[in-house]
């Protein structure tokens, strides 16, 4: 949270922490997803973190300890311990890493610790820049989804989602409840705020991940005094997004996996079998593939127009898949010399998007 000069708004941070402490003492389990390390580090070093990736990494390295010092000092006054966890998207893409992260976070919460999560900007070299989150809204949504959180609270500089941009239209009306995130709802969002990575659209998409995972999401105005206490006290502030459906834990990992290494395209018959009849993806229905992937990776499934219709865990690498494109399953052994499965992707490891 920054003030008008781009500095950490200490008073606002302290106020939020006091409200979070109230939730923790009331029996709620709270995880904080934060940003600010790059800005703090850049100021300390006297550099422009936007000038190069390496300056950004250096700033993040220095700023991370400064940021955690703020949280530690503030929470310590209330006798609450915090834990730092730095993540990249790869931590969610690799199922073993994801399960380890999930277990660690659950244990920290059991111990009464408040985890402070930030993305690990310091370890993302230029050739791996894609493993850094594009915004903290996406990071918070993945954390909420993967941990079965009941609620994701996102802080903005406006009161919530409006029917038009409130900064441009004085008659804009706040939408208090969204039952389903439709293309029309997504169309109401505008771009990123000054100095931020995200914007209203990233918050809408984050809410979509959480509501599809069985949780709720809310957008609140972080500049409003006591806004967390007001919301949890039933004041009816902000915009609340209601749960739309529930995916099982493994389905959530598949549906919202990150760093998808490749894709397969399918014909209309295969598309209908997947979407309408809940069938597995057989090699006979696959027409093309892109990217390089290994057995066990989550890949995209595209229809014949190139639209993503599903994601699933592949039973074969891209090299082996390329050899059995379009063939019947009884030919797999003959072509590859082995048969891991009759399916490219089994229905139990597949999620329709």
> Quick one: pLDDT at residue 214?
84
> Quick one: pLDDT at residue 342?
94
The residues spanned by each domain of the chain are: 10-248, 260-352
Q: Is 56 exposed, middle or buried (0-12, 13-18, 19+ CB in 10 A)?
A: buried
Asked if residues 83 and 107 have their Cβ atoms less than 8 Å apart, the reply is no
Share of the chain above pLDDT 70, in %: 90
Distance (Å, whole) CA 253 – CA 95: 8
φ/ψ of 199, rounded to 5, equals 180, -170
**The CATH number of 10-248 is which of 3.40.640.10, 3.40.1160.10, 3.30.360.10, 3.40.50.300?**
3.40.1160.10
> Quick one: pLDDT at residue 12?
81
Handedness of CA 224, 226, 231, 235 (dihedral sign): negative
**pLDDT per residue as tens digits for the range 194-224:** 444 457 889 998 999 899 888 899 999 988 9
> Quick one: pLDDT at residue 166?
79
DSSP structure class, residue 124 = -
Other Cβ atoms within 10 Å of 161 Cβ, number: 24
Instruction: Name the helix (H) or strand (E) containing 126.
Output: none
- C-alpha neighbours within 13 Å on the C-beta side of residue 259: 17
Average pLDDT of the chain to the nearest whole number: 87
Residue 239 Cα distances to 89, 140, 141, 183, 231, angstroms: 27, 17, 16, 17, 10
Check for a shared fold between 10-248 and 260-352.
no
- Structure tokens given for 214: 């069985």
For residue 3, pLDDT over 80 is answered with: no
Q: What is the second-level CATH architecture of the domain 260-352?
A: Roll (2.30)
For residue 340, pLDDT over 50 is answered with: yes
């Amino acid at each position: 949270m920054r003030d008008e000069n781009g500095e950490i708004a200490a008073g606002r941070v302290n106020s939020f922490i006091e409200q979070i402490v109230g939730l923790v003492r009331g029996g709620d389990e709270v995880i904080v997803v934060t940003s600010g390390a790059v800005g703090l580090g850049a100021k300390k070093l006297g550099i422009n973190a936007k000038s190069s990736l390496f300056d950004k990494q250096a700033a993040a390295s220095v700023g991370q300890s400064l940021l955690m010092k703020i949280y530690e000092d503030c929470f310590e006054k209330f006798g609450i311990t915090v834990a730092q966890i730095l993540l990249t998207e790869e931590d969610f893409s690799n199922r073993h890493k994801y399960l380890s992260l999930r277990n660690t976070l659950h244990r920290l919460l059991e111990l009464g610790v408040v985890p402070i999560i930030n993305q690990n900007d310091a370890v993302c070299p230029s050739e791996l820049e894609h493993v850094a989150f594009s915004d903290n809204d996406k990071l918070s949504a993945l954390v909420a989804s993967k941990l079965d959180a009941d609620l994701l609270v996102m802080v903005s500089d406006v009161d919530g989602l409006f029917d038009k941009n409130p900064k441009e239209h004085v008659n804009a009306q706040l939408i208090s409840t969204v039952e389903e995130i439709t293309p029309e709802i997504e169309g109401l969002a505008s771009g990123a705020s000054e100095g931020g990575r995200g914007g209203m659209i990233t918050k809408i998409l984050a809410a979509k991940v959480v509501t599809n995972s069985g949780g709720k999401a809310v957008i609140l105005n972080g500049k409003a005094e006591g806004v967390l206490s007001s919301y949890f006290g039933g004041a009816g502030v902000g915009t609340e997004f209601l749960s739309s459906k529930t995916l099982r834990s493994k389905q959530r990992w598949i549906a919202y996996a990150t760093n998808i290494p490749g894709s397969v395209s399918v014909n209309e018959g295969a598309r209908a079998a997947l979407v309408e009849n809940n069938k597995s993806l057989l090699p006979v229905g696959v027409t093309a593939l892109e990217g390089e992937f290994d057995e066990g990776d989550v890949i995209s499934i595209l229809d014949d127009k190139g639209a993503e219709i599903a994601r699933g865990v592949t039973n074969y690498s891209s090299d082996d898949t390329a050899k059995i494109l379009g063939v019947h399953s009884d030919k797999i052994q003959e072509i590859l010399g082995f048969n891991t499965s009759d399916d490219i992707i089994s229905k139990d490891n597949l999620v329709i998007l």
